Amino acid sequence: MNMNNNAFRSDETGAPDELTRSEAKCLALVAEGASVDAISVELTLTPSEIEVLLFCAQQKLKADNLLQAVSIALSKGIISF
């Protein structure tokens, strides 16, 4: 799974609706079928932190659920296979 480096912000100074690298990485891993626990191990964050990142990504993409967030991210080129 790849992430488009131009489709997200790398720090807190970017536009509030752009995904952070961590949010995009979490969505990319979800798209690959990874669980919250597996993502937390890979990114060395707690499962709660992963859930927050996924929730924030979902809100920024104006998605109704996580599946829709992944779909939107794929269609916008934020993540790709």
Q: What is the pLDDT of residues 11-53, one digit of tens each?
A: 444 555 799 999 999 999 999 999 999 999 999 999 999 999 9
Sign (positive or negative) of CA dihedral 49, 18, 27, 21: negative
Give me the phi and psi of 73, to 5 degrees please: -60, -40
One DSSP character per residue, 25-48 reads HHHHHHHTT--HHHHHHHHT--HH
Give me the phi and psi of 44, to 5 degrees please: 50, 50
Is 9's pLDDT higher than 50?
no
pTM above 0.85, yes or no: no
**9: buried, middle or exposed (CB in 10 Å: 19+, 13-18, 0-12)?**
middle
Fold topology of 2-9+22-80:
Arc Repressor Mutant, subunit A (1.10.10)
| Extents of the domains making up the chain | 2-9+22-80
At residue 16, the pLDDT reads: 57
